[in-house]
A and B are shown apart, each in its own frame.
Chain A
């Protein structure tokens, strides 16, 4: 049943694309999460409201719909603005960029909550002390907060990564040639849908299991030198 009829290499290419798009999305999600958490804990009322709206809206709308809005909506928006300015252009959106933007943006909302918790976990006295010896808030954030929050954020970020990598399968809907899309193409050529989708499923499962083991090791590394209760 697992005769892939020479399409194995295609799935392998797709797997690499899945990992690439997943990693890029994770980087964006972490950036969005840091900004979001900063907004949520900010004293500025506008920043707080913006961060709250971001997490509320993203978590209330299905990923597929957000993907469609970003992929089909952005070119329409740009073309509309260009038309108003008197230009007639056609924008073609790259599915890789649309996918990374969507997935990164969505999981940034989940990362926001993770980082918010991590920021709160660092004792406030440390930031006060840093400010008291003359560091600017940006410098104090970089030197005191950033090195410490990872330890608190790692379990949450590991979970986000494992959900995120599964969510990248959706990008196949906008024709990005990742694992799902490649399986679909292989299915069309061989008429063996179960074989290929099951192989793809096992590949995703392998990513999940390896990530789980990796998460344990990284957490142990990040917690070295911390006394256990």
Chain B
């Protein structure tokens, strides 16, 4: 073990981690924004609406992320004249744009499926009660269905966030300098395979469990109404009058 190389290359690895987190964050925010409407459309009874969403989800969940990245990054080249005509070639030429676009669509597909399950798990009685109060359509979704569904989806969604965070390492294959990319370059120069890769691995490990910790905290905050009161007030839970 050569500890000097770890110390020397640590700032560069940190820069790589910054790009990894940046790409993860961008894809997460845009993927989430896509997934909520897509999940609602996926559950539409209209036979012109749900099949395209179903096909989108099946394609992105049924094929490897690496194929999807190559399909966008290299595949765009096949449509270069068309893309140039619409002024889009400047974007598709950039590995960064292709990486964020692919990861966004990929996480949107997985998240759509998670939210679909969560929306279906919202107790029917709550929806009925809301309808009885006169809510319908967007108001019903906004006030009752979505808040409940998002809370139900949180454990599965936290797993998806971790998977996406780790999948971003694939962007190093299309030349981006994320944590894995930086580590590969340093190893190619110094041949210190173990020192660098294990350091990078530990950095991924730390952030992964950091993310999981944050989600556990959020879950705890959002489930306050289901816990017993800390002062042990027995009246708080009508089902346990003498607890």
Interface centre among B68, B70, B71, B166 (most CB of A within 10 A): B70
Residue ID in chain B nearest A170 by CB atoms: B66
- Inter-chain contact A61/B173, CB cutoff 8 Å: no
CA distance A63 to B59 in the complex (A): 21
Residue ID in chain B nearest A1 by CB atoms: B78
User: Chain B interface residue count: which class?
Assistant: 35 or more
Which chain A residues lie closer than 8 Å to B201 at the CB level? 57, 61, 65-66, 69
- Inter-chain contact A169/B64, CB cutoff 8 Å: yes
CA distance A169 to B62 in the complex (A): 13
Residue ID in chain B nearest A80 by CB atoms: B194
- Inter-chain contact A60/B209, CB cutoff 8 Å: yes
Tell me if B111 counts as interface (CB < 8 A to partner A).
Answer: no
Contact of A63 with B166 at beta-carbon distance under 8 Å, contacts A69-B193, A180-B64, A205-B63 already known: yes
Number of A-B residue pairs having CB atoms within 8 Å of each other in the complex: 117
Tell me if A192 counts as interface (CB < 8 A to partner B).
Answer: yes
CA distance A168 to B58 in the complex (A): 19
Which chain B residues lie closer than 8 Å to A119 at the CB level? none
- Inter-chain contact A204/B67, CB cutoff 8 Å: yes
Contact with B along A84-112 (1 / 0, CB 8 A): 00000000000000000000000000000
CA distance A52 to B49 in the complex (A): 45
CA distance A107 to B71 in the complex (A): 26
- Inter-chain contact A167/B64, CB cutoff 8 Å: yes
- Inter-chain contact B209/A193, CB cutoff 8 Å: no
The residue from B64, B68, B172, B204 contacting A60, defined by CB atoms under 8 A apart? B204
Tell me if A195 counts as interface (CB < 8 A to partner B).
Answer: yes
Of B40-48, B131-139, B179-187, the segment with at least 4 beta carbons within 8 Å of chain A is B179-187
8 Å CB interface, B100-120 against A: none
- Inter-chain contact B184/A68, CB cutoff 8 Å: yes
- Inter-chain contact A62/B204, CB cutoff 8 Å: yes
The residue from A65, A76, A191, A195 contacting B169, defined by CB atoms under 8 A apart? A65
Which chain B residues lie closer than 8 Å to A180 at the CB level? 64, 66-67, 70
- Inter-chain contact B204/A201, CB cutoff 8 Å: no
Contact of A73 with B169 at beta-carbon distance under 8 Å, contacts A65-B200, A194-B71, A201-B68 already known: no
CA distance A173 to B169 in the complex (A): 12
| CB of B218, distance to nearest CB on chain A (Å) | 19
- Inter-chain contact B187/A65, CB cutoff 8 Å: no
CA distance A70 to B68 in the complex (A): 25
Contact of A204 with B62 at beta-carbon distance under 8 Å, contacts A61-B201, A65-B197, A73-B197 already known: yes
Residues in chain B within 8 A of chain A (CB atoms): 58-59, 61-68, 70-71, 74-79, 162, 166-170, 172-173, 180, 183-184, 187, 191, 193-194, 197-198, 200-201, 204-205, 208-209
- 9 extra interface residue pairs, beta carbon distance < 8 Å, beyond A64-B173, A194-B78: A63-B169, A68-B183, A69-B197, A69-B198, A169-B66, A170-B170, A197-B67, A197-B71, A197-B74
